[in-house]
Amino acid sequence: MSWGGPHVLTTILSGVRKTDEDIAKGFALGDESCLAAAYRRWGSLVYTVASRALGDTEEAKDVAQQVFIGAWRGRAGFEPSKGTLQAWIMGITRYKITDALEQRSRRIRRLEAAAATAVEIPRFDDAVTQVIVDQLLVRDCLADLTPAQRRVLELAFFDDLTQIQIAERTGWPLGTVKTHVRRGLVALKRRLKEVEGAAQ
């Protein structure tokens, strides 16, 4: 099942009300209608928990999507006899939130390290100074991209991940990752040209 986002999931089979047990059993068996039902039932809860933990609505939306994509892809690991689907999904939510916070901390540490390095660079070393300036400029321009584009490019540039590894990390289909990378690079190149043009 390709991921079409919350607005697509909420339109699928909206007429039939399923019990939590029905959803859990169908989900474990690979019934796509139960994925839609699970999203309708617990999507808001996942988003709310993520939003409160991260303090960023866009990042929370990203995490919520990752949770349900990850849950669906890993549904073989869900056993209804050992617990509820809601509890299992919330466990994935906590993991994704932790991952998002760790990613954020790494980005902050890199920025702080770059800033500290810039202070220590001799004033006459123009080549090294330009490298630092370019790095900071790229980071600034990344902030203008969509959250998805920014995430894949940061994972590619700063974590040195391949597109396959990015797909595994985010839970997104490889085709989606490639699209975000391609569009993100185009947007980043355009933004860098705008900044360079303004500086001239």
The position carrying tokens 């790494």 is 106
The CA–CA distances, whole Å, from 157 to 50, 110, 178, 181, 190 equal 25, 12, 14, 11, 18
Beta-sheet strands, E only, within the chain: none
* Cβ-based neighbours of 1, under 8 Å, separated by 6 or more: 32, 35, 72
Cβ-proximal residues to 91 (8 Å cutoff; 6+ apart), any chain? none
CB 13 within 8 A of CB 33: yes
- pTM recorded for the entire structure: 0.49
Please state which of the ranges 105-109, 148-152, 162-166 shows the lowest mean pLDDT: 105-109
Classified as helix, coil or strand, 4 is coil
Instruction: Identify the structural domains of the chain with CATH numbers, from first to last.
Output: 1-104 (1.10.1740.10), 121-200 (1.10.10.10)
For the stretch 66-114, pLDDT in tens is 999 989 999 999 988 889 999 999 999 999 999 888 888 887 777 767 6
